[in-house]
C-alpha cells in the first residue's frame, strides 16, 4: 500500500472559507500557480501518517534519497484542509461528523452515489476526488460535497417532486437528488456535449434513464412553454436577467444556488410565494462563475424542455390554467347546448388531454420579480446595488498582501531577535560583564547618551582605555 498522508480536518467559518476560496481563484487567474516549497519533516508535523509499505518501490526509494518537499499552495492548504479519506464512505462519514449532513435520508443518498465514479479517466488510487473540496478536470467539474449536502438539505426534497438542474455537469448532484425524489420529472441542462454524454452513461449504469439531460444554454429556454418544477438548483451564479430563470419554478417551489447580490455572491434559498414574489434567505458567501449569456441574445428563446403528459393522477401537478381548461371541457360534455355533449367523456380523458401541451393555457408574467430577504420589505430582485466584482477581488488581493507583509515583518523581527541573542551570548562568552554591549546600538533615530570619553592616561590603575579593558 502506497504511503499516504492525511491532513486532520480543521473547521472554518463559512466566511473565512469563502474569502480563502475567492483569494485562491484570484491567484490562479492572475498570478499563476503559487507554490510554497517546504521540507516535509518540518511542515507536516501536524499530519496523521499511515504505515510505510513493507517493500518500497524503486520509485519511492529514489525519492527518499532527495530532500522531500511539498509543492502545494501551503497557505490555502492549511486554510482549506478538507482531506477526508480514500473512499466514498469515508467522505460521507466526514460530512456527517462535521455536521454538513444531519438527516439520515440525505446520508443514504450520498452513500448510494460514489463521487469518484463521476470523473472520467481517474487514476487508480487518486484520493482528491473524495476530499471535501471542489474538483475540476477540464470542464468536468464538481463542487464541494459539503456545499451539495447543504443545498440538498435546503431543497427539502421528498418523493415525487420534479427537479431542474441548471448546469448539471457530470450528473453527480442529479443522481443524489434522484435517490430521494425517485422516478419523477427530472431534467438537467448544460453546454458541453462530451460532459452530457458522460452524465448519460452514468445514469444508464444506475438505471436512472428517467433523468434527462439537454445540451442548451439556460438563457435559450422558453420560459413560457417549458414545464415548471418543484425544485431547482443552479450550478453557476445568476445575476440580473439570469434571475428570470426562476419563472421555471412552481409557486410554492424552492430553488437553491449562487446569486449575485449588492454585497457579492451568496448561496441562496429561494421560495416562490406568488407569480412575482419570492422569499429569499442567504446561506453562505461563495465565489462561482456566472451563467454564460446566450450566443444569440436578440433571438427569442425557443428551446422547450419536454413536459410530462397529462393523466388523471398528475392533474394536480399541472398549471392552474391547464386544470381550468380540463374542467371546462369536461363540464361541456354535460351541457345539452354544447357540441361536446355528444362525445363520451372517456374520449377526452384517454385520447385528448394527454396530447395537449401543459403550458398551452399559461403565460409567463412580464411583471418584475420582487424578493423579501429574511422577511424584510420587498425590493426588486434585479437590483444588485453598486457591487463591483473587480473591486471586491482587488480588496481580497490587498488583504492578502497585508497578511503577507505582516508575516514577513514578523519573520524578520524573529530573525533579528535571534541574531541579537547570538551576539549577546558571544560577548558573554568573551566576558560576562560585557553582555550589555549587544544592545548598545540604538533602535531608533532618537538621540542617545554619548559614550564616555577615553582616559588620556592608559596606565592609570582601575581605568579602561577607550571603553575597553586594558591588558593585565
Residues carrying an active site annotation:
143
What lies within 8 Å, CB to CB, of 142 at 6+ separation is 115, 118, 119, 134, 135, 136, 169, 170, 172
Q: In the block, which residue shows the cell 388531454?
A: 353
> Is the distance from CB of 229 to CB of 250 less than 8 angstroms?
yes
- Element housing 234 (H / E): strand 229-234
> Is the distance from CB of 290 to CB of 237 less than 8 angstroms?
yes
Report residue 170 as a C-alpha cell.
457530470
> Is the distance from CB of 331 to CB of 348 less than 8 angstroms?
no
Count the residues in the chain. Answer: 472
What lies within 8 Å, CB to CB, of 22 at 6+ separation is 287, 392, 393, 396
Report residue 352 as a C-alpha cell.
385528448
289 in the Ramachandran plot: left (φ > 0), alpha (ψ -120 to 50) or beta? beta
> Is the distance from CB of 318 to CB of 358 less than 8 angstroms?
yes
* Measured distance CA(126)–CA(122) in Å, rounded: 7
28 in the Ramachandran plot: left (φ > 0), alpha (ψ -120 to 50) or beta? alpha
Closest CA to 160 of 143, 183, 129: 183
* Measured distance CA(241)–CA(246) in Å, rounded: 10
* Measured distance CA(210)–CA(207) in Å, rounded: 8
3-state secondary structure of 37: strand
* Measured distance CA(83)–CA(48) in Å, rounded: 11
Amino acid at each position: 500500500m502506497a504511503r499516504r498522508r492525511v491532513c486532520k480536518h480543521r473547521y472554518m467559518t463559512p466566511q473565512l472559507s469563502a474569502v480563502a476560496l475567492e483569494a485562491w481563484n484570484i491567484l490562479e487567474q492572475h498570478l499563476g500557480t503559487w507554490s510554497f516549497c517546504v521540507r516535509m519533516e518540518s511542515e507536516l508535523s501536524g499530519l496523521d501518517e499511515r504505515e510505510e509499505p513493507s517493500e518500497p518501490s524503486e520509485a519511492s526509494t529514489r525519492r527518499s534519497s532527495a530532500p522531500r518537499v511539498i509543492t502545494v499552495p501551503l497557505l490555502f492548504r492549511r486554510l482549506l484542509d478538507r482531506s477526508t479519506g480514500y473512499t466514498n464512505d469515508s467522505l460521507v462519514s466526514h460530512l456527517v461528523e462535521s455536521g454538513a449532513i444531519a438527516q439520515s435520508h440525505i446520508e443514504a443518498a450520498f452513500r448510494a452515489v460514489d463521487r469518484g465514479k463521476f470523473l472520467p479517466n481517474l487514476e487508480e488510487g487518486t484520493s482528491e476526488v473524495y476530499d471535501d473540496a471542489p474538483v475540476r478536470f477540464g470542464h468536468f467539474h464538481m463542487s464541494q460535497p459539503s456545499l451539495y449536502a447543504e443545498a440538498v438539505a435546503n431543497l427539502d426534497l421528498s418523493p415525487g417532486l420534479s427537479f431542474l438542474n441548471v448546469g448539471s455537469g457530470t450528473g453527480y448532484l442529479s443522481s443524489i437528488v434522484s435517490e430521494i425524489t425517485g422516478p419523477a420529472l427530472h431534467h438537467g441542462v448544460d453546454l458541453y456535449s462530451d460532459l452530457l454524454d458522460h452524465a448519460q452513461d452514468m445514469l444508464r449504469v444506475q438505471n436512472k434513464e428517467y433523468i434527462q439531460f439537454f445540451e442548451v444554454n439556460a438563457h435559450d429556454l422558453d420560459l413560457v412553454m417549458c414545464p415548471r418544477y418543484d425544485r431547482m438548483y443552479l450550478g453557476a451564479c445568476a445575476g440580473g436577467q439570469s434571475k428570470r430563470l426562476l419563472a421555471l419554478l412552481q409557486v410554492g417551489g424552492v430553488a437553491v444556488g449562487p446569486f449575485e447580490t449588492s454585497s457579492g455572491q451568496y448561496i441562496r434559498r429561494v421560495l416562490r410565494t406568488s407569480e412575482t414574489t419570492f422569499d429569499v434567505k442567504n446561506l453562505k458567501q461563495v465565489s462561482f462563475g456566472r451563467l454564460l449569456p446566450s450566443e444569440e441574445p436578440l433571438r427569442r428563446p425557443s428551446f422547450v424542455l419536454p413536459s410530462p403528459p397529462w393523466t388523471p393522477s398528475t392533474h394536480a401537478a399541472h398549471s392552474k390554467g391547464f386544470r381550468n381548461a380540463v374542467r371546462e371541457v369536461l363540464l361541456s360534455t354535460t351541457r345539452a347546448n354544447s357540441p361536446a355533449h355528444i362525445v363520451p367523456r372517456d374520449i377526452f380523458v384517454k385520447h385528448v388531454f394527454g396530447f395537449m401541451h401543459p403550458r398551452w393555457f399559461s403565460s409567463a408574467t412580464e411583471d418584475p420579480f420582487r424578493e423579501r430577504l429574511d422577511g424584510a420589505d420587498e425590493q426588486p430582485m434585479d437590483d444588485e446595488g453598486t457591487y463591483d466584482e473587480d473591486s471586491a477581488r482587488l480588496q481580497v488581493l490587498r488583504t492578502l498582501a497585508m497578511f503577507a507583509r505582516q508575516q514577513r515583518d514578523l519573520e524578520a523581527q524573529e530573525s533579528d531577535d535571534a541574531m541579537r541573542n547570538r551576539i549577546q551570548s558571544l560577548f558573554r562568552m568573551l566576558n560576562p560583564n560585557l553582555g550589555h554591549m549587544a544592545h548598545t546600538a540604538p533602535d531608533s533615530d532618537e538621540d542617545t547618551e554619548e559614550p564616555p570619553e577615553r582616559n588620556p592616561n592608559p596606565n592609570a590603575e582601575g581605568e579602561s582605555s577607550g571603553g575597553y579593558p586594558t591588558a593585565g
